[in-house]
Amino acid sequence: MSNTVIVGAQWGDEGKGKIIDILSKDADYVVRYQGGNNAGHTVVVAGEEIILHLIPSGILHKNKICVIGNGVVIDPQALLDEIEYLRCRGIKVKNNLRISRNAHIIFPYHKILDKLREEKFRKTKIGTTGRGIGPCYTDKFARCGIRIADILNKKVFKEKLQCNMREKNEVFRRVYKHKTFSFRATYDQYLKFAKKIEPFVCDCAYLLNDALKAKKDILFEGAQGTHLDIDHGTYPFVTSSNATAGGACVGSGLGPAKIDKVIGVIKAYTTRVGEGPFPTEFSAQLLKQIRNRGKEFGATTGRPRRCGWFDAVIGRHAVIVNGIETIAVTKLDVLDMMPKIKICVGYKYKGKVFRHFPADIEILWKAKPIYEEWPGWMEDITRTKYFSKLPKNARKYLERLAQLLETRIEIISVGSERNQTIFI
Ligand code: GDP
Ligand code: IMO
Ligand code: MG
């Protein structure tokens, strides 16, 4: 199959879980490279919905090695809960799961800080998932973060945690007037976690490079989406990691020349959870219709997702910054009963037309989308198996998306089940 990165091309929740699950069949390794349990990847197998937050979606297939790379931030409690959740469903999680020694760890103070910051700066809040992701990555880049390797070494862990907690408790006390954390309770709890996690620990870069030598195929599972990427997204309304394809190398220890292909996953319309600009966002009537049809509620927090028309400006931006070669268009069926469908092909602001994604947040907030209008197909496509059998207007819509994005469509998804997938 070759070494392939799967990335979200919008603001997350594009249906990456479903696509990764399908492509995992032909992979040997499935690797998460960034983010943490802010992600919620849904896979539906024979009517049963399984939601993964930290563990790669490949875990649902037998004989796959699933790796949590060094670029991921791990909440140990969430990880252990997820292992239990999968085992309760009869899914094996044993030596098929490997966790990088270099991955950073989320502590209770990260989660509290995440929430306190959002409350304190209410006007400019990001609408985070509250999982402590931002504060954990902040520590990583401030070079005071604590990694899996550290909690496996009692002495190192003690020193690092003491140092961190002294500083954090000061911030809690003085800045937020919040109660402080006990070093001892956190230390003891995380040593217990360390014991449970130790059997899964690996040297990710060596594991994957050895796999390459053995001619194994690696699938990289991006979390979030291009426009939530810390560098390429709608900053500051983003997450704190590189969700884009380049993150796959940094977050796993594989060199860029070893990546063969990048597939972008993109919904046939657009959604986003949390705050931030969203030029093609629907008004109330359409929002209700699409949100209900597409069941657009967050897989992690349950928050209702904001919905809007397909935005080719952000789509094209994703193609460029990820080096996307082909795309998987998901949730096309959600548009089945729309008599007219719009595509945003540019933005207009102060008389100027923008065809490229503008970095200026003010333009993103205030620009008016320039739309093309396409006729809908007004029929059920959820059982369609071939591109040629799709209604003519659905094919025309897809062809226009590919043309605007200057890419090729490889996969079309017309439902959440594995068999509701069309390969071109
Ligand atoms: P991810 O975060 O990118 O993996 O996406 P989520 O799992 O958060 O959200 C995608 C949702 O859409 C899930 O509930 C999927 O089961 C569902 N889904 C995926 N593909 C399709 C599709 O083609 N049609 C429909 N109707 N639902 C889909
Ligand atoms: P998957 O992998 C959609 C959003 C949050 C918020 C912003 C920052 O399922 O596509 P964070 O908690 O990361 O600091 O929040 O990013 N966000 C997501 N939105 N899907 C996700 O993951 C997301 N992960 C984070 O809603 O706006
Ligand atoms: Mg999701």
β-pairing, 29-32 vs 97-100, is unpaired
- Whether 31 lines ligand 2, by a CB cut-off of 6 Å, is no
pLDDT string in tens for the chain (424-residue length): 689 999 999 999 999 999 999 999 999 999 999 999 999 999 999 999 999 999 999 999 999 999 999 999 999 999 999 999 999 999 999 999 999 999 999 999 999 999 999 999 888 899 999 999 999 999 999 999 999 999 999 999 999 999 999 999 999 999 999 999 999 999 999 999 999 999 999 999 999 999 999 999 999 999 999 999 999 999 999 999 999 999 999 999 999 999 999 999 999 999 999 999 999 999 998 999 999 999 999 988 899 999 999 999 999 999 999 999 999 999 999 999 999 999 999 999 999 999 999 989 999 999 999 999 999 999 999 999 999 999 999 999 999 999 999 999 999 999 999 999 999 9
Q: What pLDDT score was predicted for residue 123?
A: 83
- Whether 241 lines ligand 2, by a CB cut-off of 6 Å, is no
User: Ligand 2 mean position to 112 CA, how many Å?
Assistant: 17
CA dist 288 to 263, 294, 310, 366, Å?
30, 10, 16, 23
Return the structure tokens found at 31: 């690797």
User: Ligand 2 mean position to 355 CA, how many Å?
Assistant: 26
Q: Identify whether 41 is a catalytic site residue.
A: yes
Q: What pLDDT score was predicted for residue 1?
A: 61
Q: What pLDDT score was predicted for residue 121?
A: 87
User: Ligand 1 mean position to 183 CA, how many Å?
Assistant: 41
All domains of the chain in start order, with CATH: 4-100+201-262 (3.40.440.10), 104-196 (1.10.300.10), 267-423 (3.90.170.10)
Q: Ligand 1 — pocket residues by CB below 6 A?
A: 8, 12-18, 40-42, 44, 295, 299, 330-331, 333-334, 413-416
- Whether 324 lines ligand 2, by a CB cut-off of 6 Å, is no
CA atoms of 364 and 359, how far apart (whole Å): 8
CA dist 42 to 86, 182, 258, Å?
13, 36, 28
For ligand 1, atom 6, which residue shows the shortest CA distance? 13
8, 225 contact by CB (below 8 A): yes
User: Ligand 2 mean position to 40 CA, how many Å?
Assistant: 9
Q: Active-site residue among 21, 28, 41, 217?
A: 41
Q: Give the predicted TM-score (pTM) of the model.
A: 0.97
Q: Which of 43, 45, 416 to mutate to test the pocket of ligand 1 (most atoms within 8 A of CB)?
A: 416
Q: Active-site residue among 13, 114, 229, 311?
A: 13
Q: Which ligand ends up closest to the CA of 222?
A: 2
